[in-house]
Amino acid sequence: MAKKETKRNTSDTLNALLAKLREDPTKSSIRMASELRMNRQTFWRKKKELEDGGQIWGYTTIFDDSGMGWVYCIVLMKMKVIKEDIAKGAIAAAKTLEHEKKGVILWDAMFLNGEYDVLVSYSAPNIATARRFYELLRGMGEEVLLEKPLMLEMSFAFRKSGKLNPHLERFMELVP
């Protein structure tokens, strides 16, 4: 009879699986399962359960914006009290591909709890394109925004989407 997996073992297994997927989701399931000393069918089943259950939303590529001549920006916004029509509008806006029409890659759009209510992060091929997208966000207007959004341009990323920047020594170029 197979040994029943304890809750702790299940949690440890899940954490190890998620760590492997964060490390390199392009690596084969067979290889990841082998590295975890796990049966490949078990690995695949647990991964599939997480994907089908919506706990894993997908996989993405992380690139070096500055190395490609792009800019990475963050916009922080303070919102008025969110009413139902505004919430429905935010959901609809999140589903659009308006950012692609504006020439940017939208990385994150999050509702926050704190001084700012919304964080939007995106990459653009140049600062002019980044500013145009910022103006689109800013155009939400007085009925939604408490004040003018704050736009920040990233100078250097030590980590991005959980990945360590392989070019950390480039940070020294920012030292005056």
pLDDT at 1: 42
- The answer to whether 144 and 80 are in contact (CB under 8 A) is yes
What does the pLDDT look like over 77-126, one tens digit per residue?
999 888 898 888 888 888 887 778 788 999 999 999 999 999 999 999 99
Q: Tell me the C-alpha distance between 139 and 149, whole Å.
A: 10
Q: Tell me the C-alpha distance between 128 and 151, whole Å.
A: 13
- 3-class secondary-structure state, position 150: strand
CA distances from 139 to 3, 18, 105, 128, 132 (A): 59, 39, 19, 16, 10
- 3-class secondary-structure state, position 123: strand
Model's pTM, two decimal places? 0.80
CA distances from 87 to 46, 83, 107 (A): 34, 6, 20
Average pLDDT, the chain: 88
Residue 58 φ/ψ region, left for φ over 0, alpha for ψ in the -120 to 50 degree band, beta for the rest: left
Ordered alpha helix ranges (H), 29-165: 29-35, 40-52, 84-95, 98-101, 127-138
As a whole-number percent, the residues of the chain with pLDDT over 90 amount to 48
